[in-house]
Amino acid sequence: MSILVDKIRSCFKDTFKRMPAIIVRSPGRVNLLGEHTDYNEGFVLPAAIDRAVYLAVDERQDGKIVVHSLDFDQKATIDPEKPEHSPLHWPDYFTGVISELAALNHTVNGIDCVFGGDIPVGAGLASSAALEGGFGYALNNLFDLGITPINLVKIGQRAENNFVGVRCGVMDQYINVFGRKGRVIRLDCRSLLLEYYPFNSDRYQLVLCDTGIKHDLSKTDYNKRRQQCEASVKILQRFDTHIKTLRDVSMHFLDTHADALSAELYQRSSFVIRENFRVLNGCRDLQNQDYDAFGKKMFLSHAGLRDDFQVSIPELDLLVEASQDLEGVIGARMMGAGFGGCTITMIEVDKVKEFERYIKKTYKQKTGKTLKIYTCSIEGGVSVINV
**At a CB cut-off of 8 Å and minimum separation 6, what does 13 contact?**
19
Closest CA relative to residue 137, chosen from 125, 124, 148: 148
Cα distances (angstroms) measured from residue 285 to each of 282, 295, 296, 297, 355: 5, 9, 11, 10, 24
Torsion over CA of 349, 351, 354 and 358, rounded to 10 degrees? -100
**At a CB cut-off of 8 Å and minimum separation 6, what does 68 contact?**
11, 12, 15, 74, 75, 76, 113, 114, 115
Catalytic residues: 172
Cα distances (angstroms) measured from residue 233 to each of 158, 187, 191, 360: 23, 22, 19, 42
Exposed / middle / buried, residue 16 (Cβ in 10 Å: 0-12, 13-18, 19+): middle
